Chain A
């Protein structure tokens, strides 16, 4: 089973839920954890994993031989992302716009385009507390997170229960993490912002045909609109975590909730049972 922990809104407690779910279940079965929030992976802060492998994730940038290039413009025309321009005698490659698809090289009539790898980020993998852990890390200055998430997802072992900590938002990186998950666990807070972004995230999951369940974190603040929305939409609320100082304190010092307050462990195991019912 593949569980993607997502939210829409940032800072709702995705990592808290994903980390504690992993720690609770790892005592029961074989699991793996993938931190797909490649712009800011932070689950490692709670796991202190030992990494034993690093994989470079690259995109192939076109390199144009100015002597072979006739400035015909076929590559400029072919590029879906406007990553190439011919300005007088200059051919410009916009590295940040290039998606590395290779189409420019295919259409070049004079074979003037070769491809050189350009690193977008890395995937680090190893172990922590008896289970497999991997995370993606986007290089500073790069904007394309999805190739790293795809590379990270190639680490998925279908014989294990995989927990994916998804990036916030509802853009391409979040979609990349949710795609082909058996269930999306949406972590939200009971505020108008939380609800607004939850709705958007649920729409994404529905489009991807991934069933959803909701965790309400910081329960006690805000209002009851999230609960009402979930009831109307038939989305099960599988866990409620109160707005509680002791929970915040354990998070702030990097101690997982189930280590700080072990009685939470059975709540997360129960949560996993509910997820199995919802999962497809």
Chain B
């Protein structure tokens, strides 16, 4: 399973970026091997949440771990069958551990209003 963690740096020791659509990086982690690949996020002026959700679907991500997720992104991720867990903090490694321990919250609704996306 491919897990995406929104981060402000390029590896598992980077701090989590708590927004989804306008996160600095998407750290794609293989849940079996813990191999991590960072993708720089270059959001456009409009619809960053949708753009980010599309990027997740295109890369066959199964789970997103982030701080907050806006309504447009949430709708897209849900339609793609991607699980969204929120309330991530600390490093990407901490977040992965928290997810495995089941302490992250499952997003049932968008968690930030945003200008069409997640806000800081």
Segment among B48-56, B86-94, B101-109 that sits at the interface with chain A:
B48-56
Count, chain A residues at interface, CB 8 A: 16
Is B72's CB under 8 angstroms from A94's CB? yes
Contact check, B46 vs A85: say whether CB atoms are below 8 A apart.
no
Known: A87-B53, A88-B57. A94 touches B79 (CB 8 A): no
Q: Is the CB of A85 within 8 A of B53?
A: yes
- Per the bound structure, the CA–CA distance linking A82 and B72 in Å amounts to 10
Task: Report whether over half of chain A's contact residues are helix, strand or loop; otherwise say mixed.
Answer: loop
Residue of B nearest to A84 (CB): B50
Measured between beta carbons, the chain A residues less than 8 angstroms from B62 are none
Among B57, B77, B80, B116, which residue has its beta carbon within 8 angstroms of that of A97?
B116
B57 touching A82 by the CB < 8 A rule? no
B47 contacts the other chain (CB 8 A): yes
Indicate whether A85 sits within 8 Å of B44 (C-beta atoms), given known contacts A92-B76, A97-B72: no
| Residue interface bits A173-216, CB-to-B below 8 A is 1, else 0 | 00000000000000000000000000000000000000000000
Known: A76-B54, A82-B51, A85-B57. A92 touches B75 (CB 8 A): yes
Interface SS of B by simple majority: helix
Q: How far is the CB of B27 from chain A (nearest CB, A)?
A: 21
Question: Which chain A residue shows the least CB distance to B52?
Answer: A82
Pair count A-B, CB < 8 A: 55
> Does residue A164 face the partner (Cβ distance < 8 Å to B)?
no
Interface bin, chain B: 10 to 19
Residues in B neighbouring A82, C-beta threshold 8 A? 44, 46-48, 50-51, 54
- Given the interface contacts A80-B46, A97-B72, does A87 sit within 8 Å of B57 by beta carbon? yes
| Bound Cα distance from A84 to B47, whole angstroms | 9
Q: What are the residues of chain B within 8 A of A81 when measuring CB–CB? A: 44, 46-47
Instruction: Given A92-B79, A94-B72, A97-B72, decide whether A86 and B47 contact each other with a Cβ distance below 8 A.
Output: no
Nearest chain-A residue to B21 (Cβ)? A82
Which positions 75-100 of chain A face chain B at CB distance < 8 Å?
Answer: 76, 79-88, 90, 92, 94, 96-97
User: Which residues of chain B (65-120) have a CB below 8 Å from chain A?
Assistant: 72, 75-77, 79-81, 116
Q: How far is the CB of A144 from chain B (nearest CB, A)?
A: 11
* A contact residues around B50 at 8 Å (CB): 82-85, 92, 94, 97
